[in-house]
Amino acid sequence: MENRIIFLIDMQSFYANLEKLAHPLLTDKPVVVAGDPSIRSGVILAACPTAKSYGIQTAEPIWQAQNKCPHVHILKPHMQFYVNVSVTISSFLEQYSAAVEPYSIDEVFLELPAMEQGKAEQLAQHIKQRLLREIGVQARIGIGTTKVYAKMACDHFAKESRTGTAVLNDANAAELLWPLPIGRLFSVGNRMETHLLNMGIRTIGQLARHPLYDLKKRWGINGELLWQTARGYDTSPVSPSTHQKRKSIGHHMTLPRDYYHWSEIKVVLRELSEEVSRRSRQHTSLGQVVSIGAVGQEYGFKRSFHRQQRLFEPTNSGRVIFETASALFKEYWDGTPIRSLGISLSSLQPAHYKQLSLFDTDEDLDSLYHTIDQLKDKYGMDAVLHASSLSPAGQAMIRAKKIGGHYK
């Protein structure tokens, strides 16, 4: 248990802060997202920190929020936008580890290789800074040796921490977690809280020290689960497939400088295509929709576009992905200097089933890709590269020495 390092990354005021990104004029204003702003009986789905400073809370009626802050800006939700950003965040976190599990639309578990606590906290700060700089979302991070520790570290301590991060494990649980009221234990609702209080169990520590036999006798396996949660026991893995099948496989890259010319941009597009291709094969998947996103800036104004194209047949070929993405980019690029690029493959299906053609065969290409994957797995990501990646525009050599854009 102690060898695991798990982050629970929670995006703060997710809906409201995303709406502020979409409406820059509201950056310093109190903003809430409501289910139906046209009626005062609607409820608040999310409130930005500025709105919360007036006492506005999630799930309270709109009229109540307006009484607290008459000049609050009420916006309707754009759920597809939030879902798209959530998927982007999960893909972003895959730069650090393949063990990424969305817990909710604004919370993600991330499991990392074992490291010292100090380094884990430094990495958490690095991830927070990149999420804010590259995606525009503010996050807090709970760090634990199990998923349940990470979740409670985030919920109970990271929110109050000056750094926005907190660590919870067997070494400090008795000091930090156990004094808390029993109602703050993860998975304890109002009814269970009442039952536990009636038993004389008022704190998490009292539950953790309570005889397991009594809890199992009263609630069976649920009683044991409560006892384990109080003690931080949780062997469940961080798995991308816990909630749903993967819908897309993508890779995003923030460039070290503005790229002005197609000759430079296509080098990065090829590298991104090869990485998406490799990940697709790792997941034994084929995809039929290639998407490309680009962000640039000109005269201080951010310019971006996102386009996609459906292929005639599913693929995980880096060559096909690159050719499709290149055509899309050249069609929609307006010449704005580019600072970040992303490519994804969606409409996934298992690679075990593939439509064969009498006139074209990819068997030799599949064999080549398989060999290249084996070489990279054995000798590193820079073991086999396109020659263009050795040019000044190439990023593959540099990123091969990093973990999630951070030097090892």
- Which residue type, as a one-letter code, is found at position 162? R
Q: Is residue 349 classed as helix, strand or coil in its secondary structure?
A: strand
Instruction: Indicate which residue of 19, 107, 274, 275 is catalytic.
Output: 107
Strand order in the sheet with 338-350: 248-259, 338-350, 285-298, 301-315
Query: In whole angstroms, what is the distance from residue 285 CA to residue 327 CA?
Result: 23
Query: In whole angstroms, what is the distance from residue 103 CA to residue 88 CA?
Result: 14
140 CB contacts (<8 Å, ≥6 apart)?
A: 9, 10, 12, 128, 154, 158, 159, 161, 164, 165
* H helix or E strand, kind and range, residue 368: helix 363-379
* Helix intervals (H) in 57-211: 62-68, 79-93, 117-130, 147-152, 173-176, 190-198, 204-209
> Minimal CA–CA distance to 72: which of 121, 35, 33, 107?
33
Local structure of residue 135 (DSSP, 8 states): I
- Which residue type, as a one-letter code, is found at position 36? D
Q: Catalytic site residue 2?
A: no
- What is the DSSP secondary-structure string of 59-81? TSBHHHHHHH-TT-EEE---HHH
* Helix intervals (H) in 131-261: 147-152, 173-176, 190-198, 204-209, 212-219, 221-230
Query: In whole angstroms, what is the distance from residue 319 CA to residue 311 CA?
Result: 13
- What is the DSSP secondary-structure string of 94-109? TTT-S-EEEEETTEEE
> Minimal CA–CA distance to 160: which of 15, 30, 12?
12
Q: Give me the residue label for tokens 């709406």.
A: 19
Annotated binding site for Mg(2+): 10, 106
**Residue 146 CB neighbour total at 10 angstroms:** 23
Strand partners, 168: 144
Q: Enumerate the active-site residues.
A: 107
